[in-house]
Chains A and B, each alone.
Chain A
């Protein structure tokens, strides 16, 4: 097991109460596996990614365990954690324009990581940066270009190159395709596939996305998140073919390729969650019990779990 998350909770304090961005999340990630974390705005999926890398603001209260190769990241001293972030786990943020430094060339930004974490010097770092750019599909002669000179897709490639610079065993990609044109999205999906499934040993990835199409194309297993909790968890094919949680159904049915079937209601605010199962006000199958008792995760197949009483 590469990554094992147990009972992870992330709360933010606000004027109106606690924002429960993650509320008892359990996840595992095996070496070489791609786990898709799927959810909509406000489901807490981004916060989860930040919690793993400990990049959350200090106001966040985090509890639970994040075991990476048996080592609890949440208990690590900051200095050790920095090493983990630099050498083991790297994060590819959404919105590359905001995450890249506008004042440095992309080559310089990659070389910086290489010098800092891989001990490369001078020309060696620069050369390796060029190789990484080529690897992600950017011609090496663009090494001196600045983020604003690149198109959206190229910037995302540069982000991935930076993420790969420290040769991590785990990539966390947060909405890597958001805001890109469809033809470019496909290329980024292809690239992500190549840098995880196309290398030896295989590289693991936690793919955080709202796009079920992207998840279907890449993920081996899928975790569907709703209101800070995992609603359904299982092998990708299994979850898509045989969705058992009513929310997963909603997500699939409302997808444009599946005919845009609208479901009722809105995602709840994370401050004021409905009692019992947080999905019950929007659920077609809901019965009395759902409003009072929060359902637990239950195993319904070899590799398939659902948080629903009536799955």
Chain B
């Protein structure tokens, strides 16, 4: 359905003194129809850039993106415009996702008009139908974005995307700016709509627990690369990469009884002394408590380390296996 093969993105700045940074350094994954892939990582790991490249808001520097067998990266603009409505994105900050001078009604009608999917009376009917699909009232249509709460706006964003009957939705941290109780509402709706309309989803999140709840598979990104990828149960049941383990261990569970395991989980600080681009080797070496000589010399490839479970770590065989408990917290040794 969606296949991403070795995509890279290099951002350059400056006309005379060009400086470039490689934000995405060769990412490959596959998402099957109707399924959800959770793309997890911390800020700056390149997960948002990957999402934007899939919907073609950013051109990849290299690599291929295939959607239902069509290669998006080599499509001529006319064909791409035809395919575009089928691939949609929901952004992190709902307050910014709407033209502040437009009523909700106009924002919801925009995709219909732009793609000539409805006209006149039909538009009004479709807009009404859409707003109800996401659990809001028709009265919300006459409001301006600043009059709605973040959770309500994110629902409208969802409705706006659904207007195009997309086959793939990239959800870029859709709830990270929302309160927990609102987050639960929005994600429940997203999941329900996915069941109903059968779209494929790339769910980008920094929160492993949220991604776990949403996704069939999880890919953990660190500094522009996928370091671990596999079925959700497999990732949570037996996380292998030290970074995934650290992420899991860093989750603060709302349970004072859980013991203050967070103490053990902490990583080394990012050390500014190590210039990773020059140094070569594993990009996690400076923070990894298990780093050895080989980690500083050779970059570990993403290899299968268990059935349907890939990890990029030299030391994965030597690490003590961990058992995760039911709440998603890994117990460290």
Contact = CB atoms under 8 A, between A and B. Distances in A.
A259 interface: yes
A181 B149 CA distance: 24
A159 to B, nearest CB: 17
Nearest to B192: A262
Contacts of B251: 182, 213, 257
Given A181-B43, A256-B213, A260-B184, A216 B252 contact: yes
B207 A185 contact: no
A61 interface: no
Interface in B223-252: 246-247, 249-252
Contacts of B185: 254, 262-263
Interface residues of A, number: 42
Contact of A210 (B180, B206, B260): B180
B252 A40 contact: no
Contacts of B254: 212-213, 215-216, 240, 252, 255, 257-258
B151 interface: yes
Count chain B CB atoms within 10 A of each CB in A183, A251, A255 and give the residue with the most.
A183
A189 B213 contact: no
B252 A211 contact: yes
Given A182-B247, A186-B250, A260 B183 contact: yes
A211 B183 CA distance: 13
Contact of A216 (B182, B258, B263, B270): B258
A164 B251 CA distance: 27
Given A257-B328, A260-B210, A251 B181 contact: yes
B213 A260 contact: yes
Contacts of A212: 180, 254
B260 A266 contact: no
A60 B127 CA distance: 41
Contacts of B329: 257
Interface residues of B, number: 45
B237 to A, nearest CB: 16
Contacts of A250: 181
Contacts of B256: 216-217, 236-237, 240
B152 interface: yes
A182 B257 contact: no
A92 to B, nearest CB: 18
Contacts of B210: 256, 260
Contact of B250 (A40, A41, A185, A257): A185
Contacts of B43: 152, 181
Contacts of A266: 149, 151-152, 182
Nearest to A210: B179
A214 interface: yes
B209 interface: yes
A186 B184 contact: no
Interface of B: 42-43, 149-152, 179-185, 187-188, 206-210, 212-213, 246-247, 249-258, 260, 262-263, 265-267, 269-270, 327-329
Interface of A: 40-41, 137, 151-152, 181-187, 189-190, 210-217, 236-237, 240-241, 250-263, 266-267
